[in-house]
């Protein structure tokens, strides 16, 4: 019932990225993210303690956050699949912002340094200070009732008529 209730909350889709000890890019699809502060710029991401991403963020002290475009559903699905079951990600889908991997062509990407971490049930709330940011163009990928979708900016659409 709890999961069903939250399935009715429409949210944007992000991919949280970090680096594995050997240098490979690691990531997970996440919707439990939010802005915390403008000064300094802080973001919040909530990650289950059993996720590989959790341990990697703890050890590196860094993460990237990419806000996905409506055309990036396959990337969201890729990073929502357990790492051991994933196919190879197409080249060109990952780039770097400063030294942190992020998703290429996302509508926004941020490079974050962990400034605080709080245990909350079986998850950890990581607060990241945004050290670098890139803003692109596009329409957001949205998660609602366990489905990916999107919508176009009506203002932009009406201006192009």
Give the pLDDT confidence of 102-140 residue by residue, as tens digits. Answer: 999 999 999 999 999 999 999 999 999 999 999 999 999
The whole-model pTM stands at 0.87
Rounded-to-integer distance, Cα 154 and Cα 19, Å:
38
Rounded-to-integer distance, Cα 160 and Cα 1, Å:
43
Give the pLDDT confidence of 64-112 residue by residue, as tens digits. Answer: 999 999 999 899 999 988 777 777 777 789 999 998 999 999 999 999 9
119: helix, coil or strand? strand
Q: How many Cβ atoms from other residues are within 10 Å of residue 50's Cβ? A: 9
């Amino acid at each position: 019932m709890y999961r069903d209730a939250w399935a009715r909350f429409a949210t944007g889709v992000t991919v949280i990225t970090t680096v594995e000890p050997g240098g490979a890019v690691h990531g997970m699809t996440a919707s439990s993210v939010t802005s915390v502060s403008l000064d300094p710029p802080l973001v919040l991401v909530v990650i289950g303690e059993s996720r590989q991403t959790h341990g990697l963020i703890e050890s590196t002290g860094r993460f990237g956050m990419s806000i996905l475009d409506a055309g990036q559903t396959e990337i969201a699905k890729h990073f929502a699949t357990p790492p051991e079951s994933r196919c190879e990600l197409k080249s060109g889908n990952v780039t770097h912002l400063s030294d942190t991997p992020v998703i290429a062509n996302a509508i926004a990407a941020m490079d974050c340094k962990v400034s605080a971490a709080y245990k909350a049930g079986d998850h950890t709330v990581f607060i990241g200070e945004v050290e670098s940011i890139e803003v692109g163009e596009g329409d957001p990928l949205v998660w609602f009732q366990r489905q990916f979708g999107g919508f176009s900016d009506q203002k932009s659409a009406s201006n192009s008529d």
